[in-house]
């Protein structure tokens, strides 16, 4: 089962926070009883924990058919709830997917620069004035928190983000009461945690500066000092070296504040659990952006080398353990019964993504996308179809559902379940699928969905059919700074002729049947045109 040092590692984390001790002593005095009663008295309004893994594929979990990687905690979650086989991330990269999840509007409706894969110093891509899922829940009385990966930008874009002062606007301005986040991705500078609007552990005498254009020439980078690296990297990932890993972009200063990759999981757990402990008297919404199995893949001690699939397997098992710790905290706090836990991923899997970590070789016969075509970045099923699990013991009967569900639907769906405000004007792409979630209908309330990848590619899933229009140019835009558009990872984003697939008979999108069903292709093309007519500019406020 788990490595020997595992239990010691876990108990070292548990009860470490001040909050844990406070809750413990209050519980002894019986002072927390009303909170428990409150939860029991309002079974129809769930607490919500939304866990979003990073680049986890449709085939990466035991409950989705993986046999060579162990994910017992997520599998247990699935066994106690609804597991969707047709769950979609709206985009095959992070920022536009998370944008859609928070706003109920597809990311590609915004100007491309705004919701492309963002750098660590990019401005907040969500207009602070607009309604959002966390804001709606907050206004309905929920305590809202975000822990982990952010990647939605920070600051207003008028001036460079000052990581030494108050970093605003950010999570708070779009509806989170509390946040403990890293700005973008672990492979992008600055490599620091931000709690609410301040960098954690910053020494004012050692201010942070960040640039995605030029090296400050003070600290080693991956190009000049490959000898300092724990893992080799491509050119794009060869910026400033932070704790032995070269990143995208350059930073100087903030030495005391820099996170160590292997410590990230413990921090995610600690901050999530503290949030849960502090939220017992009110309904809460906790958004957890896990870092795994995105690059750079660094496993904490008990997981390093523990899986049968090399480093990518190790960090998937680590991700499963983190999820298990959060679930266990819910149980310990007697909150599990009335908490809706949703587990999903922001986009499909990728093996090589900038670091020479042997993920490609070590993945062996494991199929991260579960046999679907394509990967992260692409509009094929492997890019956008993701694991999607929802457990709410009080209301959701365990089952497997083949009904379509897009993460953009969470806003309308959760608004309905919590009695929060929702306006289709500002969240035009979000459907209320609460009846699907609760198993009150077997109809496919979402008949179709637009999928989005890099290089401005779009596709349409409609019923059994999938239509992929040809792309005009082969160049990959929207990849983020410094990426080489001729990178082979993006080769499949070039689509020279339109494609039509029947997913019922050909789930792996291997056979283009456009010549056999030309009318079907025209029908889907027209529907895609209608759905995407408003594109590249902001939604009505």
Q: At what angle do helices 18-29 and 264-278 cross, to 10 degrees?
A: 30
Cβ atoms of 390 and 342 closer than 8 Å? yes
DSSP of 477-499: -SS-TT--TT-GGGGGG--SS-E
Q: Which stretch binds ligand NG6 (CB under 6 A): 196-204, 321-329, 423-431, 477-485?
A: 477-485
φ/ψ of residue 210, rounded to 5: -130, 140
Does 187 bind Ca ion (CB under 5 A)? Our answer is no
User: Residues 308, 69: contact at Cβ < 8 Å?
Assistant: yes
**Cα 388 to Cα 472: distance, rounded to the nearest angstrom:** 33
- Binding of ligand NG6 by 121 (CB under 6 A): no
Under the binding rule (CB under 6 A), the answer on residue 480 touching ligand NG6 is: yes
Give the chain's end-to-end CA distance (angstroms, integer). Answer: 52
Q: Is 119 in the site for ligand NG6 (CB under 6 A)?
A: no
- Between residues 193 and 377, which has the closer beta carbon with respect to ligand NG6? 377
Q: How many residues bind ligand NG6 (CB under 6 A)?
A: 18
| Contact flag: residue 509 with ligand NG6 (CB under 6 A) | no
**Integer CA distances (angstroms), 427 to 129, 307, 311, 348, 409, in order:** 13, 41, 39, 24, 9
Query: Site map for ligand NG6, 284-313, x if CB under 6 A?
Result: ----------xx------------------
Residues of span 369-398 touching Ca ion by CB under 5 A = none
Q: Which does 353 bind (CB under 5 to 8 A by kind): ligand NG6, Ca ion, none?
A: ligand NG6
Q: Does 434 bind ligand NG6 (CB under 6 A)?
A: no
Cβ-based nearer residue to ligand NG6, 299 or 483: 483
Q: Which is nearer to ligand NG6, 212 or 422 (CB)?
A: 212
Residue 177, contacted partner among ligand NG6, Ca ion, none, CB below 5-8 A by kind: none
- What tokens were used for 309? 């699939």
**DSSP-derived secondary structure letter, 164:** T
Site mask for ligand NG6 (CB under 6 A), range 180-219, x = bound: -----x-x--------------------------------
Binding segment (CB under 6 A) for ligand NG6, from list 19-27, 238-246, 335-343, 478-486: 478-486
Residues sharing a CB contact under 8 Å with residue 539, sequence separation 6 or more, in sequence order? 105, 109, 130, 425, 426, 428
Partner from ligand NG6, Ca ion, none contacting 449, C-beta within 5 to 8 A by type = none
Q: Are 269 and 327 in contact (CB under 8 A)?
A: no
| Residues 249-268 interacting with ligand NG6 (rule: CB under 6 A) | none
Nearer to Ca ion, 120 or 302 (CB): 120
User: Which residue among 71, 236, 279, 363 contacts ligand NG6 (CB under 6 A)?
Assistant: 236
Helical H segments across 333-401, by residue range: 359-362, 381-384
Q: Is 153 left (phi over 0), alpha (psi -120 to 50) or beta?
A: left
CB atoms within 10 A of CB 326: 24
Euclidean distance between CA atoms 64 and 345, whole angstroms: 13
Give the sign of the dihedral formed by CA 518, CA 520, CA 524, CA 526: positive
- Binding of Ca ion by 347 (CB under 5 A): yes
Residue 179 near which of ligand NG6, Ca ion, none (CB within 5-8 Å, type-dependent): none
Which residues of the shown chain bind ligand NG6 in the complex (CB under 6 A)? 54-55, 93-94, 117, 151, 185, 187, 236, 294-295, 347, 353-354, 479-480, 483, 487
């Amino acid at each position: 089962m788990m490595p020997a040092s595992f239990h010691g590692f876990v108990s070292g984390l548990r009860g470490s926070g001040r909050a844990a001790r406070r809750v413990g002593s209050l519980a002894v005095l019986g002072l927390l009883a009303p909170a428990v009663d409150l939860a029991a008295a309002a079974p129809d309004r769930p607490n919500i924990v939304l866990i979003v893994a990073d680049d986890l594929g449709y085939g990466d979990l035991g409950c989705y058919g993986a046999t060579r990687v162990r994910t017992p905690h997520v599998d247990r979650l699935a066994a106690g709830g609804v597991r969707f086989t047709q769950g979609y991330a709206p985009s095959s990269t992070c920022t536009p997917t998370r944008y859609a999840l928070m706003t109920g509007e597809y990311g590609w409706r915004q100007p491309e620069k705004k919701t492309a894969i963002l750098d660590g110093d990019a401005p907040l891509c969500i207009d602070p004035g607009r309604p959002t899922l966390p804001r709606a829940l907050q206004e309905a009385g929920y305590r809202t928190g975000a822990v982990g990966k952010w990647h939605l930008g920070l600051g207003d874009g008028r001036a460079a983000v000052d990581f030494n002062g108050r970093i605003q606007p950010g999570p708070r301005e779009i509806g989170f009461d509390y946040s403990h986040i890293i700005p973008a991705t672990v492979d992008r500078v600055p490599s620091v945690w931000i709690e609410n609007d301040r960098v954690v552990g910053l020494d004012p005498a050692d201010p942070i500066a960040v640039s995605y254009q030029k090296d400050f020439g003070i600290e080693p980078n991956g190009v000049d000092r490959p000898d300092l690296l724990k893992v080799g990297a491509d050119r794009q990932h060869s910026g400033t070296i932070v704790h032995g890993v070269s990143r995208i972009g350059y930073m100087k200063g903030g030495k005391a504040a820099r996170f160590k990759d292997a410590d990230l999981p413990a921090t995610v757990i600690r901050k999530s659990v503290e949030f849960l402990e502090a939220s017992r008297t009110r309904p809460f919404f906790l958004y957890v952006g896990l870092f795994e199995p995105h690059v750079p893949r660094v496993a904490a001690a008990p997981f390093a080398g523990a899986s049968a699939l090399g480093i990518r397997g190790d960090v998937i098992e680590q991700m499963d353990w983190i999820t298990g710790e959060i679930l266990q905290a819910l149980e310990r706090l007697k909150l599990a019964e009335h908490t809706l836990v949703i587990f999903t991923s922001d986009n499909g899997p990728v093996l090589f993504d900038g670091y020479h970590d042997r993920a490609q070789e070590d993945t062996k016969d494991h199929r991260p996308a579960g046999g679907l075509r394509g990967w992260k970045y692409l509009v094929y099923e492997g890019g956008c179809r993701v694991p999607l699990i929802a457990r709410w013991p009080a209301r959701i009967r365990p089952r497997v559902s083949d009904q379509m569900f897009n993460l953009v639907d969470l806003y309308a769906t959760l608004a309905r379940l919590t009695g929060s405000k929702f306006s289709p004007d500002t969240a035009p792409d979000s459907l209320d699928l609460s009846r699907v979630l609760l198993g009150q209908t077997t109809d496919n309330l979402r008949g179709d969905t637009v999928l989005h990848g890099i290089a401005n590619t779009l596709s349409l899933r409609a019923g059994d059919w999938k239509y992929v229009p040809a792309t005009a140019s082969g160049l990959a835009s929207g990849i983020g700074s410094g990426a080489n558009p001729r990178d082979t990872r993006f080769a499949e984003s070039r689509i020279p002729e339109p494609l039509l697939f029947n997913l019922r008979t050909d789930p792996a999108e291997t056979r283009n049947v456009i010549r056999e069903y030309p009318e079907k292709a025209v029908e889907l093309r027209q529907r895609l045109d209608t759905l995407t007519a408003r594109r590249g500019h902001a939604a009505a406020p």
